[in-house]
């Protein structure tokens, strides 16, 4: 019996595997984002995502288990898992949630220019005089939004292409000087919800 003019062969061989593939892409993407939210202390959104994630996963598993002889379903399930992992990482990168410690080490007179550039954008800056393997250096520490890292590092590279810097994720921060966020954006809204994680 055909449903909406679709033959059983077409449904079992193409449409059903495609639906399984899309379901897996969705639930694995949601899983990746949920893990990121958990790591950032965004509990409410993580719980909401977990609910829809498991519902989609159960539906996909139920379909596959009903027809174990259909190899296309297995392949769609596996490919959906792989693609969901990739899509989840892309989504996580686009969200750019949380804050990071930007650690800059410079051994020349570019220190003042780098500090001025960061302070000019309302970023808090801490400078530490240190001794490197090649002599005296200045370590510049700044806590910045992860979404701004690319722009900031590009500016540092223009000021001093030889400056060394490293980036470290931060889960909790308390007090300090922070650049204002755009609360109208989705990222700003998520940061607001994560405010409970600002104080440990």
Question: Are 146 and 93 within 8 A, CB to CB?
Answer: no
Profile the chain (200 residues) by mean pLDDT over runs of 10 residues.
59 81 92 84 87 90 79 88 91 76 84 86 86 82 84 88 83 57 48 47
Structural domains counted in the chain: 2
111 and 79 belong to one structural domain: no
C-alpha distances in Å from residue 130, one per residue of 123, 133, 134, 142, 195: 22, 10, 11, 16, 34
Return the pLDDT at 178. Answer: 55
175 and 106 belong to one structural domain: yes
pTM for the model stands at: 0.59
Domain end, chosen from 70, 95, 120, is at 95
- The alpha carbon of 149 is separated from its chain's Cα centroid by a whole number of angstroms, namely 13
Domain end, chosen from 48, 73, 95, is at 95
1 domain-assigned: no
Length, in residues, of the chain: 200
Return the pLDDT at 179. Answer: 58
Return the pLDDT at 174. Answer: 59
Return the pLDDT at 173. Answer: 58
142 and 83 belong to one structural domain: no
3 domain-assigned: no
2 domain-assigned: no
Under 8 Å CB-to-CB from 116, ≥6 apart: which residues? none
Domain end, chosen from 79, 95, 111, is at 95
3-class DSSP state of 107: coil
Domain span including residue 131: 99-198
């Amino acid at each position: 019996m055909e449903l909406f003019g679709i033959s059983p062969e077409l449904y079992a061989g193409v449409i059903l595997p495609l639906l399984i593939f899309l379901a897996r892409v969705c639930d694995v993407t949601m899983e990746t984002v949920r893990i990121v939210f958990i790591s950032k202390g965004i509990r409410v959104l993580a719980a909401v995502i977990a609910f829809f994630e498991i519902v989609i996963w159960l539906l996909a598993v139920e379909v596959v288990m009903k027809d174990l002889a259909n190899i296309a379903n297995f392949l769609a399930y596996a490919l959906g898992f792989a693609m969901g992992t990739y899509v989840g990482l892309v989504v996580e990168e686009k969200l750019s949630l949380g804050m990071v410690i930007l650690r800059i080490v410079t051994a020349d007179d570019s220190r003042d220019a780098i500090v001025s550039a960061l302070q000019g954008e309302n970023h808090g800056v801490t400078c530490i005089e240190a001794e490197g393997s090649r002599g005296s250096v200045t370590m510049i520490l700044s806590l910045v939004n992860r979404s701004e890292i690319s722009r900031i590092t590009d500016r540092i590279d223009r000021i001093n292409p030889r400056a060394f810097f490293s980036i470290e994720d931060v889960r909790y921060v308390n007090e300090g000087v922070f650049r204002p966020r755009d609360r109208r954006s989705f990222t700003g809204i998520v940061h607001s919800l994560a405010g409970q994680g600002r104080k440990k």
